[in-house]
Amino acid sequence: MTTPAPGTPAPDTTAAPGGEPRDGGPSPGARVLGWARRIVLSTPVLAIGGALVLTTLVMLAVGVDPSLAYPALLRGALADGNLEYTIAAFVPTLGMALAFAIPLRACEFNLGGDGQMAIGGVTAAAIALHLPMVAGVAVVLPLAAAALAGGLVAGLSAPLRTRLGIPAIVTTLLISTPAVAFASYLVRFPLGEQGTGIAQTPPLPDATHLPALAGSSYVTIGLPLIALLTVAWLYADSRTVLGYEIRATGQNRDFARYGGVAVNRLAAVTLAGGGAFAGLVGALIVLGPPYRYVDGALTAPGYTFTAVAAVLLATARPIAVPFAVALLTVLQVGGQGMEREAGVPSQLTQIVQGLIIVIVAVFATVRHLRARRGAGA
């Protein structure tokens, strides 16, 4: 930093009328206003606001009072003892969001979360039922095996993507359906509980149950585990060489390859990593209440669809993903309370999620077209 020569008057940095410093820089008030304007006009805020406006119009069109429906939605998720269940639903939704977000950073779309989650869950159940283990290992081993199984299912898409050029958005989705069907077969026949007529496994041994947090009926150690893994992903994404290479591949695959990045290997790593998170989620559900694999119980709540919507709402920004997941989890769980109290079908919350995706897609398309127009000018 240079200092003025002796006898040179110091520059006048006092604020001019209107709050602007005389050196031309913005005042603190102007910076705060600019920051607030960017938040209000950001894609997530506009998408949520637009979806709520359209949903309100739908309510009014069918004769539902929004002033009764929205408070009922919040009470259904956060009050009357429902917060515990909302937190329990937040855990698998966040895990599935990471299963989609990790490959997305490398511009790979993993839509096969249901199949990866189902295979992970049935793997955890099989190991818990048939391998005698001591306490501690009885929880860790099924979790690790489930993550490995989910990663292998997702990894099947990698050579199809890198060798045959078939997009991962297609292969992961196509592999998911037979994976779910295979898990259903296992739980109905080889692993099924006999004499019940229900497609489910027998209750898992007590040693394999995930410990509950603070005596909760639904919240287990899966919550801090997913939270720690999320923090680890955020750190790896922003502070490590691997994270930089993944982001570079997602931004420009050819440029990353020219810079020496093994883009095909990274595609396999990110897809397998996303699948590992999905498999882990399956194990967390199975090893938690009701401590068994019930056919359809993993895929029926729609964790994968909600997770994809949350990542898109966060516009793929890693730090925003947990907050978007929390918001959509409240919508999903609170929809049941809204149906009980206000008579509004809980499927309306799925409409909100769909509208959010549509609005985010519209903004992304507009930005892309503007960028192309600017590049061609």
Over residues 9-50, the pLDDT tens digits come to: 555 545 444 444 555 567 777 777 777 777 776 777 888 888
Percent residues over pLDDT 70 in the chain: 92
d(CA 150, CA 122): 10
d(CA 36, CA 42): 10
Q: What is the mean pLDDT of residues 289-295?
A: 94
**pLDDT the model gives residue 1:** 47
Whether the predicted pLDDT of 256 surpasses 60: yes
pTM of the model: 0.86
**pLDDT the model gives residue 228:** 97
**pLDDT the model gives residue 231:** 97
Query: What sign does the CA torsion over 172, 300, 188, 149 have?
Result: positive
Over residues 125-157, the pLDDT tens digits come to: 999 999 887 777 899 999 999 999 999 999 999
**pLDDT the model gives residue 18:** 47
Residue numbers of the domain that contains 309: 95-315
- Residue 155 is assigned to a structural domain of this protein: yes
Question: Average pLDDT of the chain?
Answer: 87
- Residue 304 is assigned to a structural domain of this protein: yes
- Residue 90 is assigned to a structural domain of this protein: no
Over residues 170-209, the pLDDT tens digits come to: 999 999 999 999 999 999 999 998 888 889 999 999 999 9
- Residue 229 is assigned to a structural domain of this protein: yes
**pLDDT the model gives residue 36:** 72
- Residue 240 is assigned to a structural domain of this protein: yes
- Residue 72 is assigned to a structural domain of this protein: no
- Residue 63 is assigned to a structural domain of this protein: no
Number of domains comprising the chain: 1
**pLDDT the model gives residue 293:** 96
Over residues 336-347, the pLDDT tens digits come to: 888 888 777 878
Question: Where residue 3 falls among pLDDT bands split at 50, 70, 90?
Answer: low
**pLDDT the model gives residue 315:** 83
Whether the predicted pLDDT of 7 surpasses 60: no
Over residues 79-100, the pLDDT tens digits come to: 867 899 999 999 999 999 999 9
**pLDDT the model gives residue 25:** 64
Buried b (16+ CB within 10 A) or exposed e, 301-337: bebbbbbbbbbbbbbbebebbbebbbbbbbbbbbbbb
**308 near 132, Cβ under 8 Å?**
no
- Residue 243 is assigned to a structural domain of this protein: yes
Over residues 220-234, the pLDDT tens digits come to: 999 999 999 999 999
Query: What sign does the CA torsion over 191, 195, 199, 203 have?
Result: negative
